[in-house]
Amino acid sequence: MKKLIGMDEAVAKITDGMNVMIGGFLGAGTPHKIVDALVESGVKNLTIICNDTSFEDKGLGKLIANRQVSKVITSHIGTNKSTIDQYNKKEIEVEFVPQGTLAERVRCGGSGLGGVLTPTGVGTVAQEGKQVINLDGKDFLLEKALRADVAILGASICDEDGNLFHRGTTQNFNPLMAMAADLVIAEAQKIVKTGEIPMESVHTQAIFVDYVVKS
């Protein structure tokens, strides 16, 4: 399998100061082994784009607890005490984004769009610093697209071409993030021959996946 690489090679592609998208929802669908290897690598000053900051002892939350993250763009941090503590002490920057808006910003980044217009957040603190556009008498916020240098994804099954299947709710942000990063690394629990994943069950197409690590 041409896309299959070792963990050391995968981790070496993520360097200080990069913007990194990490798939998952409270650890479900997160590439846990890659995250653990990043913690051991000591890479620092990362900007993480994720649905949530998980827990301080699980998933990408470990990166924050280990103080390797300078900024996080996310929908909530409430389950990670380390994120909350660092945020209150102004040791980490947090850009809060409503969950649906976050998904749309990532989708826009992967689709070549500049952003999305949404009424969510109009008239609240979420509006601060953002452009308001009025269409047909209704105000919308312009939420700009999100892209990353690297996306690391979790996958249940990967075939030899790099097509991914995400079981159940582990799909979450993974397919969207695969489209919105310059380099995509997937961590697969199982690798099968091309054709063994039914076409209708391919959630992330091989064209978006650059490298695969066996979990």
- For the stretch 158-199, pLDDT in tens is 999 999 999 999 999 999 999 999 999 999 999 999 999 999
The per-residue pLDDT for 1 is: 77
CA 93 to chain centre: 17
User: For the chain, what is the mean pLDDT?
Assistant: 97
Q: Please state, in angstroms and rounded to a whole number, the distance separating the CA atoms of residues 189 and 137.
A: 50
* Ranges in the chain, pLDDT < 50: none
The per-residue pLDDT for 153 is: 98
- For the stretch 68-78, pLDDT in tens is 999 999 999 99
Q: How many domains does the chain have?
A: 1
The per-residue pLDDT for 98 is: 95
* Within a domain: 58: yes
Q: Please state, in angstroms and rounded to a whole number, the distance separating the CA atoms of residues 95 and 186.
A: 25
* Within a domain: 140: no
Q: Which helix H or strand E contains 36, and what residues bound it?
A: helix 32-41
User: Nearest to residue 50, comparing CAs of 14, 15, 26?
Assistant: 26
The per-residue pLDDT for 3 is: 96
Predicted TM-score (pTM) of this structure: 0.94
Q: Which helix H or strand E contains 85, and what residues bound it?
A: helix 81-88
* Within a domain: 59: yes
Containing structural domain, residue 174: 7-113+148-214
CATH number of the domain residue 87 falls in: 3.40.1080.10
* Within a domain: 40: yes
Q: Please state, in angstroms and rounded to a whole number, the distance separating the CA atoms of residues 70 and 18.
A: 10
* Within a domain: 124: no
* Within a domain: 139: no
* Within a domain: 183: yes
* Within a domain: 106: yes
The per-residue pLDDT for 203 is: 98
> What's the residue count for the chain?
215
The per-residue pLDDT for 99 is: 96
Burial tier of 48 (Cβ tally within 10 Å: 0-12, 13-18, 19+): buried
